[in-house]
Amino acid sequence: MIGITVVFLGLYLWFTTFPGRPAGDAYRYFTEGDIVSARAYASASRMVSAINFSVELSFLIWFTMGTAGRYLSDWCEKVAGRYTLSILLYFFILWVILRIINLPFSLYSGYFLQKQWGFSTQTLMSWWMDYIKSAALDLVLSATGVILLFFAVNRWPGTWHITAWAFISLWLVVQTFLWPILVEPLFNKFEAAKDPQIIAMVKELADKAGIPVNQVLIMDASRRTTKANAYFTGIGRIKRIVLYDTLLKDYPEDEVRAVIAHEMGHWRQGHIVKGLLESSLGILIMLLILHTFMKIDIHFNGSYPPYLWAYLTLFFVLASYIANPIYNYESRRMETEADRISVMLTEDPNSVIKLQVDLAKRNLSDMSPPLFIEWFAYTHPSTMHRIEMVEKIKPPSE
């Protein structure tokens, strides 16, 4: 696994450093200045991400394969006294170390780089508040997961992976319902759309798509960024679409309509449910591999010691990185389906194309990245691939 990860990382760094020329068609929609700026911003973001991952991975390999991880485990067992407390102490120390490693990269990419390119509207204090809230949430959820995982591994050594898979799958479903209600309001304010044009637009598109929409919410994204976006949440009867206030402020009505139609496309195709099922399947495969690996390579007498968590952390980091192309391929496929539905609902392919061009220009998206970068890291098709798809389904009269 380490070998495959190193190969992927090496290719990612190579194509980040030497991205090559963009597709020739890009010049039909973008100027040389647009392309150069987008490439510069994308290269900086990718390089920070790659270096961050390299440092984190190097530490985990050293910590896990060397004596440091076991030494810390023995110390935690001695200091904590109780098994559960020793697990929590070990997890917490490793969590803090990884946070410290990642912090400079998060601060640079999430704040200073965004300020440098004119995207961030946050103060440094505001960024820190977001970071602290996010870290606290991650700590609580991760600690709970670690305790449950160790309980399952020790209680059902032969079938723990099935138990863990069932619990995680259930959590994914619960999270889909609760995250928009309990977590998202910690970071942003949401207000029901009041503009009658937006409400009428959503109703018209929802009727055409055959989808009941419960809520159209406006998120105060402008307090953090100038970038525009939208997303959809909810399964079953509870469905809501969230629009960034920057989208409504900076984009014309026909492009906002194309965005809403795109989100309707996700609903119509059942992408949330499909995403949950596919994530659940991916987690099951990952846990099956981990279970096999633990039976072959990791042997303990009695309960698993705290330093098992170091092995598991390294495994999850490697497995997630290797699985990136699979998850991202499926995500791009869903985005393409939503784009097709958007064209069908709006009956206005030119506005869909215009939206992609404006989004790329305003967000400095790399409109034509190296094919490997798109294949490995992109959750959405690149701008030019999205435009090419729409052009293929435009009526001849267009």
Which residue positions form the known binding site for Zn(2+)?
A: 262, 266, 335
Residue 242: left (phi > 0), alpha (psi -120 to 50), or beta?
beta
Number of Cβ atoms within 10 Å of the Cβ of 228: 24
SS3 content of the chain, % helix, strand, coil (to 5): 75, 5, 20
285: exposed, middle or buried (C-beta count within 10 Å: 0-12, 13-18, 19+)? middle
- Known catalytic residue: 374? no
Evaluate the CA torsion angle 75, 80, 82, 88 in order and state its sign: negative
State how far the Cα of 351 lies from the Cα of 27, in Å rounded to an integer.
Answer: 19
Alpha-carbon gap, residue 286 to 322, rounded angstroms:
11
Cβ burial of 257 (10 Å; 0-12, 13-18, 19+) is buried
Number of separate helices (H) and strands (E) present in the chain: 15, 4
Separation CA 257–CA 82 (nearest Å): 58
Active site annotation includes 263: yes
DSSP run (H or E) holding 215: strand 215-219
Given phi > 0 = left and psi -120 to 50 = alpha, else beta, which region is 232? beta
Whole-angstrom Cα distance, residue 391 to residue 85? 59
| Residues β-bridged to residue 243 | 218, 230
Exactly one of 339, 348, 366, 374 is catalytic; which is it?
339
Q: 370: which 2 tokens?
A: 């190296």
d(CA 242, CA 189) in angstroms, rounded, equals 11
Cβ partners under 8 Å of residue 257, min gap 6:
201, 205, 346, 348, 351
Radius of gyration of the CA atoms of the chain, in A: 23
Rounded to the nearest 5°, which phi and psi values hold at 190?
A: -125, 135
> How many Cβ atoms from other residues are within 10 Å of residue 2's Cβ?
11
Which is catalytic among the residues 34, 77, 255, 263? 263
Instruction: List active site positions.
Output: 263, 339
